[in-house]
Amino acid sequence: MKAARLHEYHKPLVFEDVSVPDIQPDEILVQVKACGMCRSDVQLVDGYFKQYADIPRPITPGHEITGVVSAIGDVVPKSSGFKEGDHVVVAPGWGDGTCRHCQIGNTHICANVRWPGFGPYGGYSEFLPVPARYLVKVDKRLKFEELAPLTDAGMTPYRGIKKLRDSGALGPDRVLGVFGIGGLGSYAIQYAKLLGGGAQVVAFARNDDKLKVATEYGADHVINVKGKSSADIAKELNQATGQNQLDAIIDCAGAPEMIKLGFDILGISGHYVDVGLVGDRIDVPLFRRVSREQTFQGSYWGSYNDLSEVVALAAAGKIRHTIKTISFDQINEYLELLRAGDIVGRAVVKM
């Protein structure tokens, strides 16, 4: 099969012919039909994750995976309902199944988690083995290129918005800021309107084309932050919403300068959920965080249940997509575009 693999950090992926992997008795072999391209793929190539995990190379990147059931392991129970030819998406966080996080369904934060795309098997290949319990069957009428991003770009902000909702941060008298309107942010806008309980939704970004997408997807207001101070942005926010502070933030960028802005304009008892990882360090003054009883929370990817809910929303026609489909041999070219931040929406490799 074809595979694009990482042999050396800071170098282009190598296109190779490798053996189709064998499957374990509890696994299903998935023929990849589409794989979304994520900024974390660029970070993987650039060595961002080396300080957190020493992943043996070669690595096959690609974790936003959808495809077709090609073969089924001997001990996969009939009750699972899988059969060859089924269309599936891959829930990416494979836990050990025994820890307290796995026991309640949060396998993606298991201490012993495994990730497709961060090891020998990933979506930048024609086949990969997946434990059967991490596959979600999907409606065959849904397009592969629209399903693939749901496994990360579509699921990650969904979990983050749910955390804001469940903390009581959203409602008809609240203003929610969405920071970063890239692959994740375009979905975050939609979930904010679906789950926000009537909160005003304001999109913040540095690119007018991306802000145009935010407006199309339901943002009540948009603010271009490029070259502006926090005070200027607060004034613009007040003109748009009637208040110069935000009640809640979902940050789909995680860039240090955006985090600083966020804390500058986060209000009393404000809730800040970060799902982005553009940066790696933040410098946050403490007094206003404590005196205003603000909450900062990380939200990482999502669970099997989160993905099932997102797929159900897609099947009901409640999710829109901004997709650029590319061919397998364009992967390195589009990694460069991702690195530069020049992709609006999501690039998807269609096999």
What pLDDT was estimated at residue 73?
Answer: 98
For the chain, what is the domain count?
Answer: 2
Given 263, 278, 298, which residue is the final one in a domain?
298
Domain that holds residue 289: 156-298
Please indicate, yes or no, whether residues 315 and 272 belong to a single structural domain of this protein: no
Given 257, 283, 298, which residue is the final one in a domain?
298
| CATH number of 338's domain | 3.90.180.10
Span 224-261, pLDDT tens digits: 999 999 999 999 999 999 999 999 999 999 999 999 99
Please indicate, yes or no, whether residues 32 and 56 belong to a single structural domain of this protein: yes
SS3 sequence of the chain: CEEEEECCCCCCCEEEECCCCCCCCCEEEEEEEEEECCHHHHHHHCCHHHHCCCCCCCECCCCEEEEEEEEECCCCCHHHCCCCCCEEEECCCECCCCCHHHHCCCHHHCCCCECCCCCCCCCCECEEEEEHHHEEECCCCCCHHHHHHHHCCCCHHHHHHHHHHHCCCCCCCCEEEEECCCCCHHHHHHHHHHHCCCCEEEEEECCHHHHHHHHHCCCCEEEECCCCCHHHHHHHHHHHHCCCCEEEEEECCCCHHHHHHHHHCEEEEEEEEECCCCCCCCCCCCHHHHHCCCEEEECCCCCHHHHHHHHHHHHCCCCCCCEEEECHHHHHHHHHHHHHCCCCCEEEEEC
- Whether 284 has a pLDDT exceeding 90, the answer reads no
What pLDDT was estimated at residue 345?
Answer: 86
Span 44-69, pLDDT tens digits: 999 999 988 889 999 999 999 999 99
Average of per-residue pLDDT values in the chain: 96
Please indicate, yes or no, whether residues 6 and 124 belong to a single structural domain of this protein: yes
**Mean pLDDT along residues 118-135:** 98
pTM beyond cutoff 0.85 = yes
- Whether 16 has a pLDDT exceeding 90, the answer reads yes
Please indicate, yes or no, whether residues 227 and 148 belong to a single structural domain of this protein: no
User: What share of the chain in percent tops pLDDT 70?
Assistant: 100
Please indicate, yes or no, whether residues 87 and 192 belong to a single structural domain of this protein: no
What pLDDT was estimated at residue 54?
Answer: 84
- Whether 270 has a pLDDT exceeding 90, the answer reads yes
Please indicate, yes or no, whether residues 86 and 135 belong to a single structural domain of this protein: yes
Please indicate, yes or no, whether residues 218 and 292 belong to a single structural domain of this protein: yes
